[in-house]
Amino acid sequence: MIYQGKQKIWSDYQKEIPDDHWYYVRSCIRQNFFPGSERMFLEICRNVLGRDFHETEHHTTCGGIAYHCDTIPQETAMTIVARQFALMTEAGYENYVASCITSFGNYTEILETWHEFPELETRIRELLWKACRKEFRKPKYLAHTSDLIFKYRNEIAEKAVHHLVNKETGEPLRVVEHIGCHYAKMFPSKGIGGAEYPYVLAGMVEAWGGNVIDYPERRHCCGYGFRQYHIKANRGYSVSNTYKKFESMEPYRPDMIITNCPGCPYFLDRWQYVIAETEGKTYGQNGYGIPVFTYEEVAGLVLGYDPWDLGLQLHQVAVEPLLDKIGIPYVPEDKYKGLDRKEIMRPGLPQNLKCY
Amino acid sequence: MSMFGFRISPSSTIDLDKVDRNRFKKLCALEPDASKCMACGSCSATCSASEFSGMSVRKVLLCLQQGREKEAYAMMSSCMLCGKCLMVCPRGINTRHLILSISRIYGKEESI
């Protein structure tokens, strides 16, 4: 293919992201899985980078989990989303940013559906009015929070205290980047780099000093997949997907994994414990696992935040070997201390997976 | 394994770089029709043995290409050589002769 042709195709998958003034909505499950991430996102955007991010306690779930589990019809999910847009309209914002990949996919799907079937949008407006007397304007711009960290990646790199570099050898860390399926697999033009070559996390890793690993199952699902996990009998299918990914990345000896989806870091992290307990197999060095991070946690580490303030003690796989490798200081005794400096409960240790 | 109530399923990935394709190459040299199959499934649809034994010439060829030789040979042992598949094959493959050639090449090997 001629170079100009490549440039043209690549330009189709770039996003013009507004710089400031965003209406922010949280994820249902990230608050429980890795609660430090969303707090860190707002902390970085508001206090470190000085941007305007508005959030309200009145917003709810986007309905994405129920929709993808086939428990609610799409009209219900659409009315829930319409209410979120109404809250944004009331707050006087036009740019909408979602913390969850599935929400982002859900919003994109709904906006595209309304674009194709305007009569459906009219019906949803009627339903919303009947349900809660609200009206809405559609967002001018819809983004996922990882798009914004991608946009701000160079500003973060300028303020970086640590880099994704092995302090002993000076070599860049080998990083696996894992993109949530609902980011660009449904609507490739809505993700930075499209579905095949998403650049959103790779761009962050490169800007912060790491090396991205390319491995055969790089675009494979993490295994969560909603129905695969939510029905217990199907969980073997979920963990088998994760197992396949780890088997594929193992020969490349990754130092860490970075993800941009609520489910992926959780399952890539927790299933390492299940794989270790059932198969006796661990993927990190010396019996440890490969630590899995959200992009906000990595941004926080790069900016020099305390690992325990980022919530890294909630990870199943021990993060300490990686912190030592980069040279990030931490106080081991503070790992399980709460905000009031009192000891919170310590988890039991697995048999096969080495943990601190 | 049962401590979680579920287990890891064995991967169905076939690494074609690790498959020994020498016998399949030998088969193609002896029986060039083996590479003509377009996997339409007409042979499977007409096969008298298929309903009872899972025999299918299409599947046998696919298994041989993927190195699943034991599976292919076991499937083929149900063939009665009636020749119905030969009559319906749109590519004109002499399936009965193909099956005999497969048994000649793969049947000799004790390892499979």
The mean pLDDT values, 10 residues at a time, for chain B of 112 residues are: 78 84 91 92 92 90 91 89 94 94 79 48
A-B contacts at Cβ under 8 angstroms: 32
Residues of B with Cβ-Cβ distance to A236 under 8 angstroms: 6-9
Which carries the bigger pLDDT value, residue B21 or residue A212? A212
Q: Which chain B residues are closer than 8 Å to A280 by Cβ? A: none
Split at pLDDT 50, 70, 90, the class of A344 is confident
Given an 8 Å threshold on Cβ–Cβ distance, is A235 in contact with B1?
Answer: no
The answer to whether A228 and A238 are in contact (CB under 8 A) is yes
Pairing status of strand A95-98 against strand A292-294: unpaired
Instruction: Say what the pLDDT of residue B18 is.
Output: 85
Name the residue with higher pLDDT: A242 or A32. Answer: A242
pLDDT, tens digit, 9 for 90 and up, residues A257-278: 999 999 999 999 999 999 999 9
Instruction: Give the orientation angle of helix A74-91 with respect to helix A101-116, to 10 degrees.
Output: 100
Residue A54, φ and ψ in degrees, nearest 5: -110, 135
In the predicted model, what is the mean pLDDT of residues A203-230?
Answer: 92
Angle among Cα A118, A192, A114 to the nearest 5 degrees reads: 5
Nearest to A236 among B3, B6, B11 (CB): B6
pLDDT score, position A15 = 82
Q: How far is B46 from chain A (nearest CA, A)?
A: 35
Judged by DSSP in three states, B5 sits in coil
The reply to whether residue A278 touches residue B4, judged by beta carbons under 8 angstroms, is yes
User: CB of B93 within 8 A of CB of B36?
Assistant: yes
| Residue of A232, A234, A279 with shortest CB distance to B8 | A279
- Are B94 and B86 in contact, with CB atoms under 8 Å apart? yes
Mean pLDDT of chain A: 93
- Both tokens of residue B91? 């590519």
- What interface predicted TM-score (ipTM) does this complex get? 0.72
Residue A229 has pLDDT above 70, yes or no: yes
- pLDDT recorded at residue B112: 47
Question: Is A278's CB within 8 Å of B7's CB?
Answer: yes
Check residue B109 and give its pLDDT: 56
Question: Helices in chain A by DSSP H: which ranges?
Answer: 3-12, 30-33, 36-42, 64-68, 74-91, 101-116, 118-132, 145-151, 153-158, 181-184, 200-207, 227-230, 235-249, 263-279, 295-302, 320-326
Instruction: Residue B47: count other Cβ atoms within 10 Å of its Cβ.
Output: 25
Tell me the fold of A161-334: Rossmann fold (3.40.50)
> Domain map of chain B by residue range?
22-107
Residue among A82, A99, A66 at smallest CA distance from A265 = A99
pLDDT score of A13 more than 90: no
Tell me the whole-structure pTM to 2 decimals: 0.85
Architecture category of domain A17-145 in CATH: Up-down Bundle (1.20)
Mean of the pLDDT values across residues A314-330?
95
pLDDT in tens, A70-88: 889 999 999 999 999 999 9
Whose tokens are 């943990």? That residue is A355
Domain boundaries, chain A: 17-145, 161-334
**In the predicted model, what is the mean pLDDT of residues A152-171?**
96
Shortest Cα distance from B78 to chain A (angstroms)? Answer: 33
Of the pLDDT bands very low, low, confident and very high (cuts 50, 70, 90), residue A9 is: confident
Tokens standing for residue A12 = 């189709």
Q: How far is A81 from chain B (nearest CA, A)?
A: 35
Please give the residue of chain B at the shortest CA–CA distance from A242: B8
Position A1 scores a pLDDT of 65
